[in-house]
Each structure stands twice: as structure tokens, then as C-alpha cells.
């Protein structure tokens, strides 16, 4: 682990009707980093953490739980290393708070990192700090952020985005992923992974992973009997999954099934199968040490070259490049062959 430096001041900026987990998720990541780093060294905790609001005092989060906050003027004394602006139902009023926006604009040049969780990106956007930059927010709000602030390059897929000193993240739990990335940059990969394990986070997801994966997007539609079919497909990716066979599983004619499936999911059956195979490939690239040839066979591709072309089209990078960027370091081991249950 890198040598411990002076304490970094982390200010988590909240407001009435903020999303509770936007506050507590990053807060606990930094608090756990303090505990683990202090236990591993004879030095002090690496972070000085404060939760602040424009007026200070008790604020009521969107879940109804009240939390105590410091005033911005008190919490912002001295050098601030990192500011994290939370999101939630109250973000519109926060973005209209001229004192808050003025404070961000005035202090921004002296702050090393300015971040947002979920719809907190709207506060950063209103301050002008995101102008000309790449950003993300909760997938439900990406279109609105882009329409309201056309000078920002908004991406709906990433869990978090870094553009220079500005970091933005997707909704709710993505704030934990963002905070883990910040800790990793400060204190190294090993301690960040210790924090993830301490918090029982299953996987410290890289920022470029999609907010809304294929399985999750299929869950968004009404069931209509397709959940069982999707679970069966996920367990039989190496088999013949042409429309005729899927239609037989659904006890429908091929033509009727194709129409019904597209109406329910917005995809053709062939496209859905292809996306499920690519999703399986993506997981194996991240989580296992299997070769691309082995992964191709396991996911039902005829050969690794077919897989490479399909993967490049879908993700804009070859499998090796994706693995180099997103594989979970320290856990590159073959995974046990187990069925992956997928519900619609």
C-alpha cells in the first residue's frame, strides 16, 4: 500500500429529500477505509469526513430518516480534497439554491475531485462544472440531463465516469462503486478490495460496466410467461436456440412466438439470445481466467473469431481489451460450471 499521506478532507454534500444511500454508501466506504488503513499502519486515518448541507442542522432524507449535517461554511474550512454531491427527490431545489451553486463555483478551483452520485449531477450541471465534459447519472434521468444541459456529453450506460477532476455516477448503489474507485486511487487496489470485502460488496465493479445489463433490462418487461423461457435459455446457451425451438418451448408457432416475443421485450428472439450469450462472455472475461476460445464454446459461439467480431460490435473493444480493462484483479481464476438463472 502506498505510504500514508496527510488526511484528505472528504465533504459529502446533502440536502432535504436527499437519497439516504447516496449519503451513507460513500460515507461508509470512506469510514471503512479509515478503519482498515489505521489498523494496518501506525498512522492516522487517511480521511477526515464531513456531511454538510447548505443550512446545516438536521435534514430529512427521502426515506424519512433525519441525519445531522454541518454547515457548508463550517465543513468547508481549509483545503477540501473531495466533494461528493448526493442526489434524490430534493435535487431540483438544491440545483436552484443560489448560495449552494455559488459555493461550488467559488470553491471548485481548489478542490482536487468533485463528484456526484445519481441525480446530484444536476447540481454540478447547474454550476457549470460539467460543461463540455462527459458525465452520467441515473439511467432514468440521463435524457433529462442531456436535454436540459446540451453542452454535457451524457452517457446512460456507465456506472461512473471520470472526466478530469469531475466524477459522476449512476443511481444509488453506484455511489459505493464510485467511492471505492476514489479510495483505490488514493490508497491502492489492495486496500480498496479490503474495503469491498469488509462491506460484503460482491464485486467492485469498474466504471465502464453497464448500469442496465441484458438480464436486468429483460426483467423490466411484464412476465407473460417468458421468465421460465429466459432461465432455460441461460442454461442452454451451447444448444440450438433458433426461433423454432424457442417457439416449441413456449408452445407457440414460430411466427406467433416471434411477434409475441418482440412485442413483450422489444427484441427479436435471435437478438435476445445473442445478447444473453455476449452477457455470459462479458461475465467470464471479468471473473475467470478461461481463454477466449473456451469462453466462446461455453457461451455457444461457433468459434472464437465469431465471438471476437460480435463482441467488438457490441462493446466497441475486443475481448482481450475488455478483460484488460475490467477484469477483477486478484480473482482471475476459472469459475465453477454452474447454471446462471436469468429472469425476464
What is the signed CA dihedral for 169, 174, 176, 177, rounded to 10 degrees? -80
- pLDDT given at position 1: 47
Cβ count within 10 A of residue 57? 10
Distance from C-alpha of 145 to C-alpha of 137, rounded to nearest angstrom: 8
CATH code for 214-326?
A: 1.10.10.60
Tell whether the torsion through CA atoms of 162, 166, 171 and 175 is positive or negative: positive
95-141 pLDDT tens trace: 999 999 999 999 999 999 999 999 999 999 999 999 999 999 998 99
Query: What confidence score (pLDDT) does residue 266 get?
Result: 83
Angle separating helix axes 189-198 and 20-40, nearest 10 degrees: 120
Domain ranges across the chain = 8-198, 214-326
The CATH code of domain 8-198 reads 3.40.50.880
pLDDT digits (tens, 9 = 90+) for 300-343: 999 999 999 999 988 788 999 888 876 654 434 333 333 333 33
Q: Is 99 in contact with 56 (CB distance < 8 Å)?
A: no
Residues 6+ apart with CB under 8 A from 115: 82, 83, 84, 85, 166, 167, 168, 169, 178, 182
> Given this chain, do its domains 8-198 and 214-326 carry the same CATH topology?
no
Whole-model pTM: value is 0.69
Q: How far apart are the first and last CA of the chain?
A: 43
Amino acid at each position: 500500500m502506498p505510504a500514508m499521506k496527510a488526511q484528505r478532507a472528504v465533504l459529502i454534500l446533502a440536502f432535504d429529500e436527499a437519497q439516504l444511500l447516496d449519503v451513507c454508501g460513500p460515507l461508509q466506504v470512506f469510514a471503512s477505509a479509515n478503519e482498515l488503513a489505521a489498523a494496518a499502519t501506525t498512522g492516522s486515518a487517511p480521511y477526515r469526513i464531513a456531511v454538510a448541507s447548505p443550512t446545516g442542522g438536521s435534514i430529512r432524507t427521502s426515506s424519512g430518516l433525519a441525519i445531522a449535517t454541518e454547515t457548508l461554511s463550517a465543513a468547508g474550512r481549509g483545503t477540501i480534497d473531495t466533494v461528493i454531491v448526493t442526489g434524490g427527490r430534493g435535487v431540483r431545489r438544491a440545483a436552484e439554491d443560489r448560495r449552494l451553486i455559488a459555493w461550488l463555483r467559488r470553491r471548485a478551483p481548489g478542490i482536487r475531485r468533485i463528484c456526484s452520485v445519481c441525480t446530484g449531477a444536476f447540481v454540478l450541471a447547474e454550476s457549470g462544472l460539467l460543461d463540455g465534459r462527459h458525465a452520467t447519472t441515473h439511467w432514468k434521468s440521463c435524457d433529462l440531463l442531456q436535454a436540459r444541459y446540451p453542452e454535457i456529453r451524457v452517457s446512460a450506460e456507465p456506472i461512473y465516469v471520470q472526466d478530469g477532476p469531475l466524477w459522476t455516477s449512476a443511481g444509488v448503489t453506484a455511489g459505493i462503486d464510485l467511492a471505492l474507485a476514489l479510495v483505490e486511487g488514493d490508497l491502492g487496489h489492495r486496500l480498496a478490495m479490503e474495503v469491498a470485502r469488509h462491506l460484503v460488496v460482491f464485486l467492485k465493479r469498474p466504471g465502464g460496466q453497464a448500469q442496465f445489463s441484458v438480464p436486468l433490462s429483460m426483467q423490466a418487461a411484464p412476465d407473460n410467461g417468458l421468465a421460465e423461457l429466459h432461465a432455460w435459455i441461460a442454461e442452454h446457451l451451447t444448444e440450438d436456440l433458433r426461433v423454432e425451438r424457442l417457439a416449441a418451448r413456449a408452445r407457440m408457432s414460430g411466427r406467433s412466438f416471434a411477434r409475441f416475443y418482440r412485442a413483450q421485450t422489444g427484441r427479436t428472439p435471435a437478438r435476445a439470445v445473442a445478447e444473453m450469450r455476449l452477457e455470459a462472455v462479458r461475465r467470464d472475461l471479468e471473473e475467470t481466467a478461461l481463454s477466449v476460445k473456451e469462453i466462446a464454446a461455453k457461451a455457444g459461439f461457433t468459434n472464437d473469431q465469431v465471438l471476437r467480431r460480435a463482441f467488438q460490435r457490441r462493446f466497441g473493444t475486443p475481448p482481450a481489451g475488455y478483460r484488460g480493462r475490467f477484469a477483477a484483479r486478484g480473482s482471475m481464476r476459472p469459475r465453477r460450471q454452474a447454471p446462471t438463472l436469468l429472469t425476464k
